[in-house]
Amino acid sequence: MFKMYGIPNCDTVKKARKSLEEKGLDYEFFNFKKEVPTSEMLKRWENFFGELPANKRGPTFRKIKESYEAGNKAAQEKLLLENLSAIKRPILEKKGKVIAIGFDIEVYETL
């Protein structure tokens, strides 16, 4: 079973969820508005993404950009965990392994 992390009203998350549902794939949804990811999750996503998964184009990130860029890694993680809308989404995993960060239609078509 897949696990998707995101915010339900995000358009990109909606596209990703629709893609899974059209394929009849079961998934569990981790709602950033109701649950807080752990620092271990952030580290797992960072290992896949190559950096902390900050949604640098989003309005929430723009509000924290100066503090984020001025901070060390611990401060950056703390900012993301305090501003969950600043995490890039959706994040899709299977059995604890990251498959995609963001909605990449080519990746979702291969599922």
Residues with catalytic roles = 10
Helix (H) or strand (E) holding 28: strand 27-31
Residue 109 CB partners (closer than 8 Å, separation 6+) = none
Helix (H) or strand (E) holding 31: strand 27-31
Token pair 């950056």: residue: 76
